[in-house]
Chain A
Amino acid sequence: MLDDTFSNQPILPDNLPTVSSQAFTPLSPMYMKVNLMCRLTFWLIVVSALLTLYWQPWFVLPKTLELYLPQLQLAAGIFGLLTSAYGIIADKNKGYALREHDFSYHSGVIFKSVVSQPILRIQHVELKHGPIDRHFGLSNLEIFSAGGSMHTFAIPGLPEEKARELRSYVLTHSDIAEND
């Protein structure tokens, strides 16, 4: 038993701890930058591919395609910029919070959502980092409950140090230790 101090305060229905009044920690600023960079690079590739298609000397394009290609390039460019700008706002709205017994993750601009995961119900924890994340020292923390893989609780863009800390917090938590 990790928790030796036992408390059993009476709690009235109106005085339950509330999820909505938590202070959410924003994700690492590096995550936003990396995300923005990835999006911009992707759209840059799309636009430059369209440009090469337009300028290439090897074969003749069909008439209609040749006619509409500049518009298509413009549309792709504008769409790319818009999604990147939206991505910044979306990333700024993401955040997580940690209480004694649960995690919460907050996200969304137009469709906001708060997902809460009690630590008692955690089946296993995974740290994931792709090559880009690894280069910038970022990690995704994925938490699985018995609700199935559809309902994986994930916090993206954590500094690696922090992610490890959170994972060990979960693994050494009294709720989990009791489960085994």
Chain B
Amino acid sequence: MTNYQGQWLKLSPVAIIYFAVQFVKDVGNNLIYLLPAILVGYNQFSENGLAIISGLTALLLFVAISALLKFYFYQYRLTDGRVQIHSGVFQKSHIDLPFERIQNVRFEQPIFYRPSNHVCMLLDTAGSSKLEAKIIALSKGVAESLKQEILSHKTEQASSAETESTETEQEQLLNSRSVQDLVIHGLASNRIWIVLGALAPFFNSLSEKFIAGIENLGVDVDALMASSQYAFWQYVLFFLSIAFVVIAFMALISVLGSVITFYDFKLTRSNDRYIRRNGFFTRHEVVMKLSRLQMIVYQQNWLDRILQRVNLKFEQLGASLDRQSSGTSGGKIMVPSVTQGEANALASDAWPENKLSAINYHPVSKRLAVRNTLIAFWLLIPLAITFIYFDQAELSVAAGGLFILTTGLVILSWKRWGYAMDEQFIYIRKGLIGVNYRCFPIHKVQQTQLHQSWFMRRFQLCSVRLVLACGGQTLPFIKRATGEKYIDTCLYQVEALRKSWM
């Protein structure tokens, strides 16, 4: 169906914009560190505007030329089952990627590609994250047919039937998210705290600015504090309302972030492939083969629990590598803030036999809580005593209070731990204030580990760690006999069933 086989191809010219934007982004990222210097030198700059303008023009020219050069030197081709990409002006890079090594095909559509309907095609491999190839700027139609070709490569090899490819065109919508769902997701997700954390270094100067700003408005803060004309509760109310405004503002940012990343979220399925599309500015499209799915996770933080929502994650290979990047850019599929019913429907669509919604979890031994409390005790109580010895009553009370708080959290976390196994799957429940339910097929285990400390040996306990392609899962403090049974079952199913994990 395609006649671009075997010859070197150039990108379409829209790619020049992409290279330019990428360049500006890179420079911008580095410029952040220079920001203080620029601010300091601002006065000198403002005196000779001509120099700035000429400098900026030179910069723009430079960007344009470099983008043109990059475009000129970028070429790709597809020959007998492999993708080859040559790129780079001074530092050349050659990528040669066989189709069968490609784990995943993703599309990205930055906003400036939309008018001409082009996409970026990202090819993920099983190896390190650096080995991924990116074909910049393909028109949507070409990209789609390439994707079909790459993904069907393996199946075609196995069964040379061509009939399948005609069938694959039919996509069936599994789930879509309305803006309302995304607002809920934004409110419930803890992005707020990430923003707060990023702002932390500036709190001091921000609050100074804030007070200065209020004073400029004619309010004397010191007098307000000192005067006795307001009752104590009025101050409390005042600060509470300020806190409320700040939190509301943060929530707004978080909601905006959620809507922008997950806008028009659609999860579809065509045969054995799941396709996720989302994004307001940059459209993302991620394709995952069902056989690559390693684990299903239901994630609920405390707000999700109140709102009765679940974040459902389909984890596939190497999710641990992608973890640094946020939930959308990696290859894993996250369905934000679905209801319990929708989550169960999605999970049973992927693995019909799983009982994630109905399984009874066994509790882990309470020795886990005992051990963690003991650790907290030995860390904090001697500290409290030392503080008393040095006449620091407040600090000592703080350490004591911290100990009580940690004990509470330790017990809470122990109550959350749970595990279960049926004929095909292992289930894990864990969490602290939120809860996390995980489910994975036993035959996808890569490695098993049994750990036992001296403390555990005394009580016939052990911890089992089952390593999957998406990371290790731990069952802490379970009975030794149970742990051994789990490991033996895992090894038996892996070795006897000989099912593929990918």
Contact = CB atoms under 8 A, between A and B. Distances in A.
Interface residues of A, number: 31
B488 A19 contact: yes
B451 A112 contact: yes
| Chain A interface helix/strand/loop/mixed | mixed
A152 B318 CA distance: 14
Interface in A91-135: 101-102, 108, 110-121
Given A120-B494, A121-B501, A147 B449 contact: no
B489 A146 contact: no
B494 to A, nearest CB: 5
Contact of B320 (A120, A145, A150): A150
B216 interface: no
A16 B488 contact: yes
B494 A118 contact: yes
A57 interface: no
A18 B491 CA distance: 9
A117 B454 CA distance: 24
Given A147-B467, A175-B498, A17 B488 contact: yes
A115 B447 contact: yes
Given A13-B489, A20-B484, A150-B320, A121 B494 contact: yes
Interface stretch (B223-231, B262-270, B301-309, B468-476): B468-476
A145 B488 contact: no
Contacts, number: 100
A111 B489 contact: no
Given A18-B484, A19-B487, A118 B450 contact: no
A76 to B, nearest CB: 26
Interface size class of chain B, counting residues whose CB lies under 8 Å from the partner chain: 20 to 34
B449 A146 contact: no
A178 interface: yes
A153 B447 contact: yes
B484 A19 contact: yes
B174 interface: no
B447 A145 contact: yes
B44 interface: no
Interface string B305-324: 00000000000011011000
B472 A150 contact: yes
Interface string B440-476: 0000011111111110010000000001110110000
Given A148-B471, A175-B495, 20 more contacts: A16-B485, A16-B492, A17-B488, A17-B492, A19-B484, A101-B491, A108-B452, A111-B451, A111-B454, A112-B451, A115-B450, A116-B448, A116-B449, A116-B487, A118-B495, A120-B494, A121-B447, A145-B446, A147-B446, A147-B469
Interface of B: 126, 317-318, 320-321, 445-454, 457, 467-469, 471-472, 484-485, 487-489, 491-492, 494-496, 498, 501-502
